[in-house]
Structure 1
Amino acid sequence: MLFYSEIINILRKRINMKNSKRLKNKDFSLLASNCNGAFILHDLNLKFNSPTVNLFMYPSDFVKYIKNLEYYSKCDLKFIKKEDTAYPVGKLDDIEIHFMHYKDENEAERKWKERTDRIDFDNMFVMMTDRDGCSLEDLKEFDKLPYKNKVVFTHKEYSEIKSSVYIKGFENEKNVGNLYSYKNRFTGYKYYDDFDYVEWFNSRTAEK
């Protein structure tokens, strides 16, 4: 008899295989404010062509980073000590980067530099999530960013935020939860699957 974890892994593999077959644009850069981007890339078995992997930035810092991406990509990464924080915390000029899934500063710096060099400014997608202190002002500033391929996942509907995608299931919360979590034990679907990210990535190919 299969355990629940084995069943859901099988279901997830089927979903990932189906999505991978649909995907046409396979060499893009996905810059995300938290781990959702890394999980999606991993699901699609794609290379990490951006440095925002296994880390998170506060929304206000992420908006600032994306708004001035070329500048921050050239800044030296420095590390600071923060109380009650076991993982490395870096700074690019005036923004903080929380390398929560890195073992030490050396690994964080090496991966950051390596993946920053891979950014494809001509085939880039930007993803933010309504959490980690995200304010309405952050959402508005994100919506103003001069990128066509941008999306922000929100816990409720925002008609005034054109780039927002409402993810159901967090209406009674102050923000969106972990979107890489499974919605239930019978389908293998995760919360972020409510957004057709494959079609989103393919939209860049359709423009050519």
Structure 2
Amino acid sequence: MQCLEGGFQTDLSLRQHLRILKKLKNMNGSLKQLIAEHTPIKWYLAVRKKEMDKKLFKLRAPYIKDIEVLIDKNTSIISSNCFAGRIMQDLGMQYNSPTLGLYFWAPDYIEFLSNLRYYLTDAKIQFVEHSKYPLGDRRRKEWRHWYPIGWLDGKVEIHFLHYYTEEEAAEKWYRRASRVNWNDLFIIGMEQNLCTIDEIKAFDNLPFGNKIFFSSKELPELKSNCYIQEFRRVGEVGDPYRKADIFYRELIKRLKK
């Protein structure tokens, strides 16, 4: 395969470019920078992402009309990961919640929800160099780009997965937090990120009337628990962004009850 870029013809195949990229990444290079410097790879990844987005949307599309009926566009969706953003994008909602493009560790999310109004109105973000969880640092190192990690009030750790700077993360967090509709909240939890049965039970005990917790466990005694059988052998639920159709299906079932 040959590629023309700015009048320059390279004899390197895409496969060779990918091998070079992998080698450089292992040398602790910035993946974003490396992709920018290898135009064929940048083009290939952009095309692949666009194709994948189309495939994933086709899977979600049959459920979106029902979701639109069941979730009001003025609702503020609070979630432990990117699922809030997935819903808001599909429904064309204003971002009236700061919990998108990021994730919480399960114990921190319970703390966050336990004092939700304080953390969304008064608490400040302190950005830190390292996660308090060893797994957190490993995940960031393996992610496709560096991203900020912040602590709310020195307690609640947030991984701003889809942000590139601390300034961007802080500005969007505070702006979106100021829009939260306290009269119409929908709280979503998931069995991910060091979640144990203790966090699932703690979530169920939180004083929110409109809430759901997606898990891989059958726990009929917990009213908020939503068991997803596809993940029963995994021990936690899967990626709600890529597998949103599965979560939409179960969400519709629960909200229609």
Q: Same fold (TM over 0.5)?
A: yes
Structure 1 contact 22–198 (Cα < 8 Å) conserved: no
Identity of aligned residues (%): 31
Which stretch of structure 1 is more off in the superposition, 8-17 or 136-145? 8-17
- Change beyond 3 A, Cα 1:21–1:62: closer
Q: Structure 2: which 5+ runs fail to align?
A: 1-50, 131-136, 141-145
Secondary structure of 2:214 counterpart: strand
CA change 1:107–1:7 in 2 (3 A) is closer
Q: Runs (4+) of structure 1 moved beyond 6 Å?
A: none
Q: Which one has the largest radius of gyration?
A: 2
Give 1:158's aligned residue. Answer: 219
RMSD: 2.5
The verdict on how the C-alpha distance between 1:87 and 1:138 changes in structure 2, with shifts beyond 3 A counting, is: same
Structure 2 match to 1:75: 123
CA contact (8 A) 1:16 1:44 kept: no
1:26-50 per-position Cα deviation (integer Å, ceiling 9, x unaligned): 1110000011121121111211111
Which one of 122, 146, 152 corresponds to residue 92 of structure 1? 152
Change (3 A) 1:157 1:78: same
Deviation at 1:56, TM superposition (A): 0.3
Within 5 Å, give how 1:119-130 maps onto structure 2.
119-130=180-191
Equivalent of residue 247 in structure 2, options 189, 192, 197: 192
Alpha-carbon offset, residue 106 of structure 1: 0.5
User: Where does structure 1 lack aligned partners over 5 or more consecutive residues?
Assistant: 183-188, 204-208
- Cα distance change of structure 1 residues 145 and 10 upon mapping to structure 2, 3 Å threshold: closer
Q: Which has the higher helix share?
A: 2
TM-score where L is the length of structure 2: 0.68
Which whole-Å deviations, capped at 9, do the CAs of 1:61-116 have from their partners, x for residues lacking one? 11111110121121111100014532100111111011011011000000000001
- Specify whether residues 176 and 75 from structure 1 end up closer, same or farther in structure 2 by C-alpha distance, changes over 3 A only: same
TM-score, normalised via structure 1 length: 0.83
Once the 2 structures are TM-superposed, how far is the Cα of residue 52 of structure 1 from its aligned partner?
Answer: 0.6
Q: Name the count of aligned residue pairs.
A: 193
Find the aligned partners of 2:248 and 2:64 in 1 and give their Cα distance: 14
